[in-house]
Amino acid sequence: MKAKTHLLVLAVILLIPVSVLFGQKKATPDSVKTAKGVLKIEDDTKTIDNSPVEFKSLSLDKKLVFRRVNTEGEFVSIENYFPRKNPNLIVFFVGAEAVSCIGQFFIVDVSGRKPIITERFGNCSNNPQITARNQTLTVTFPPGIAADYYKAGNKEIWRYSNGKLKQIL
């Protein structure tokens, strides 16, 4: 009986992720360690005219970078970041529960003195192909399928380079 118990304990230990055993933190979908510090998505509330207003905020090492009113049913998550080690270009997904458009994207660039944040872009698809080369991101959105539950638009290609976002198709 003791041998079976020891084998069971050993099996459970082997199934525990190494990060749990050694206290290493994995990146969460709401933060990423960048070349300039931790960029984090936060929910916060501010009282305006005696009414609480909910915001979606981005902070870089606890300093506010961006804040906008949180629309009901909307969420923000980190889609990808480049380069993989000490990233300075972070692509965010802004999703919604709305049927007509599942979401769009924006990019935060922390390579300069101050972070740069692009406007939202995309064709409502939540599955773009993102490539990075020499501090340039190319984001290709596939065209929507007529029978899709969410209505993605025509194919779009966007390029981000040197602080500027431009649609090229």
DSSP state of 16: S
Name residue, tokens 């923000």.
Answer: 76
Domain range enclosing 156: 2-167
pLDDT over 80 at 18, yes or no:
no
Q: What is the dihedral of CA 110, 113, 114, 117, to 10 degrees?
A: -40
Our CA angle for 120, 95, 167, nearest 5°, is: 30
> Do 107 and 130 contact (CB within 8 A), yes or no?
no
**Tokens found for residue 169:** 């198709």
* 107 pLDDT higher than 70: yes
Question: Which pLDDT score, from 0 to 100, does residue 86 have?
Answer: 93
Looking at residue 162, what is its pLDDT? 95
Please name the helix (run of DSSP H) or strand (run of DSSP E) that holds residue 19, with its range, or none.
helix 18-22
Identify the band that residue 22 occupies on the pLDDT scale cut at 50, 70 and 90. very low
Residues 6+ apart with CB under 8 A from 116: 108, 109, 163
In the predicted model, what is the mean pLDDT of residues 161-165?
97
- Reported as a single tens digit per residue, the pLDDT across 39-90 is 999 988 888 888 888 888 999 999 999 888 877 777 889 999 999 999 999 9
Across the chain, mean pLDDT equals 82
3 SS3 class: helix
| Structural domain total, the chain | 1
The predicted structure's pLDDT at residue 21: 35
Q: Pick 134 or 145 by higher pLDDT.
A: 134
Q: How confident is the model at residue 152 (pLDDT cuts 50, 70, 90)?
A: confident
- Residues 9 and 34: their CA atoms lie apart, in Å, by 38
